[in-house]
């Protein structure tokens, strides 16, 4: 196969820990890099006094990484600014939180130019280049400007917004035009793909061909929905580990006969955590008989603490969880266990398995792999029930979960009641249907499907088995 160059904002080199504590995306991409003797290029996460373009090359566990340090201004404008205070909220339908500052956009373009200038000398004639996520929209265009003619693909891990919402972004057309520098563009869901089609047709006068190519004037790109999965085999192995069994045993003992509802989310306004707490509170208001019989474990590691909107959501959740516990707790029972720390994937697997209900309620999410991990962790003979937001990308595949409107406290409360009362036969049937998708369309399937399209080979369909 051709050598593969992967480009992402941050590089996740393999740790050699057997994968139990390594993200599924990193596992899949690392495997592809080993197979092709490829390179993983991106920001080191370190800040330098001045950008020099110096590449830190490292090889570990068969994977070569190439990273660069950024200036503090680069991080403020490109990463904290345009990527996370402009694009992230806008693409998650929160235009009310988006900040449109010219300095952010200038920093975003500057850093992408610097990435292109630094990466270009590493590119060999037959390399395939695979660029990831919203931090890097214009990178392909800047590489083309520098004479790179290799096949290049781009995959967006977050949702693509409706075209009228996207039009609130200054220079929105210029951003979309940068995608036509790539040969293949991938989205998580059919919904995002259709939103991209709508923008191109209505705003750019383009057309969508039967083979999936999107054409504007003399330029075209193959655009497709290609949902990412988890590394199912690796996760199942982690779920059978001693660490997972220990976590399961500890949670069962701690539950003391009560039913556990679990939520695991990065602390972010897109995850619907406040709405989740309010839906759970509605259940406690309506069903006094459930008091003392169940609890919600919410694991929410902090993120982007230097962005004001993230500070506000953390303060709001602290207040809301305290109010609910203050109103309903007694000396022997606390209705919400709210934890601001992360756990390794093997221990999470044990926690998922111990939970009667997995509560996944994002207001908008590109995919949401927690939903798939919860399914994979279950006991096939006595599985828990997944309650899933209709606005998570995973809902397109996991349609046998209990799908809910996360904005509705009544919907959340009703779904919890239904899950608690669900007969074993129905729980097993719903779980089996979801697990089929998790097994067949895993992260390796996703990788093969995208790279086969990038290489110009026969494409996978979503119905293909892994």
List active site positions.
Answer: 157, 365
Whole-number Å distance between alpha carbons of 367 and 159: 8
Residue 192 contacts residue 392 (beta carbons within 8 Å): no
Residue 223 contacts residue 216 (beta carbons within 8 Å): no
30: Cα within 13 Å, side-chain hemisphere: 20
CA angle 121, 126, 127 (to 5 degrees): 60
In the numeric block, the tokens 């800047």 are attached to 142
Whole-number Å distance between alpha carbons of 158 and 112: 19
Long-range contacts of 239-246 (CB under 8 A, 24+ apart): 239/346, 239/349, 239/350, 239/352, 239/353, 239/376, 239/377, 241/20, 241/346, 241/349, 243/20, 243/344, 243/346, 243/347, 243/350, 244/346, 244/347, 244/349, 244/350, 244/353, 245/350, 246/347, 246/350
């Amino acid at each position: 196969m051709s050598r593969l160059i992967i480009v992402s904002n941050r590089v996740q080199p393999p740790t050699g820990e057997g994968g139990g504590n390594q993200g599924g995306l990193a596992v899949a991409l690392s495997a592809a890099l080993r197979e092709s003797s490829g390179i993983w290029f991106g920001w080191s996460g370190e800040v330098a006094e001045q950008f020099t373009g110096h590449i830190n090359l490292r090889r570990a566990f068969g994977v070569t990484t190439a990273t660069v340090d950024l200036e503090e201004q680069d991080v403020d404008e490109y990463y904290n600014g345009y990527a996370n205070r402009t694009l992230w909220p806008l693409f998650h339908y929160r235009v009310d939180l988006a900040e449109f500052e010219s300095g952010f956009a200038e920093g975003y373009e500057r850093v992408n130019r610097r990435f292109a200038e630094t990466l270009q000398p590493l590119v060999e004639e037959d390399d395939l280049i695979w660029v990831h996520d919203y931090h890097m929209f214009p990178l392909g265009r800047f590489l083309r400007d520098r004479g790179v003619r290799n096949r290049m693909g781009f995959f967006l891990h977050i949702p693509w917004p409706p075209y009228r919402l996207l039009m609130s972004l200054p220079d929105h057309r210029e951003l979309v035009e940068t995608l036509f520098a790539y040969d293949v563009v991938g989205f998580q869901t059919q919904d995002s793909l259709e939103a991209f089609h709508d923008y191109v047709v209505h705003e750019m006068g383009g057309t969508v061909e039967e083979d999936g190519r999107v054409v504007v004037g003399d330029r075209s790109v193959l655009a497709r929905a290609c949902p990412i999965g988890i590394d199912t085999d690796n996760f199942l192995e982690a779920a059978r580990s001693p660490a997972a069994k220990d976590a399961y045993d500890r949670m069962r003992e701690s539950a003391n006969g009560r039913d556990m509802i679990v939520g695991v989310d990065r602390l972010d306004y897109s995850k619907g955590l406040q709405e989740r707490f309010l839906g759970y509170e509605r259940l406690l208001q309506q069903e006094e008989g459930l008091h003392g019989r169940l609890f919600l474990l919410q694991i929410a590691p902090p993120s982007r603490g230097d962005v004001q909107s993230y500070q506000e959501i953390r303060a709001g959740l602290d207040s809301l969880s305290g109010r609910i516990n203050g109103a309903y707790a007694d000396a022997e029972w606390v209705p919400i266990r709210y934890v601001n720390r992360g756990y390794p994937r093997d221990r999470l697997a044990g926690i998922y398995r111990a939970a009667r209900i997995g509560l996944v309620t994002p207001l908008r999410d590109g995919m949401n792999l927690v939903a798939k991990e919860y399914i994979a962790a279950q006991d096939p003979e006595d599985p828990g029930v997944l309650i899933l937001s209709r606005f998570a990308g995973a809902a397109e595949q996991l349609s046998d979960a209990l799908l809910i409107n996360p904005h509705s406290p009544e919907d959340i409360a009703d779904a919890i009641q239904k899950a608690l009362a669900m007969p074993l036969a129905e729980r097993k049937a719903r779980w089996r249907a979801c697990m089929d998708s998790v097994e067949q369309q895993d992260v390796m399937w996703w990788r093969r499907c995208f790279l086969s399209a990038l290489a110009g080979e026969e494409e996978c369909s979503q119905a293909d088995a892994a």
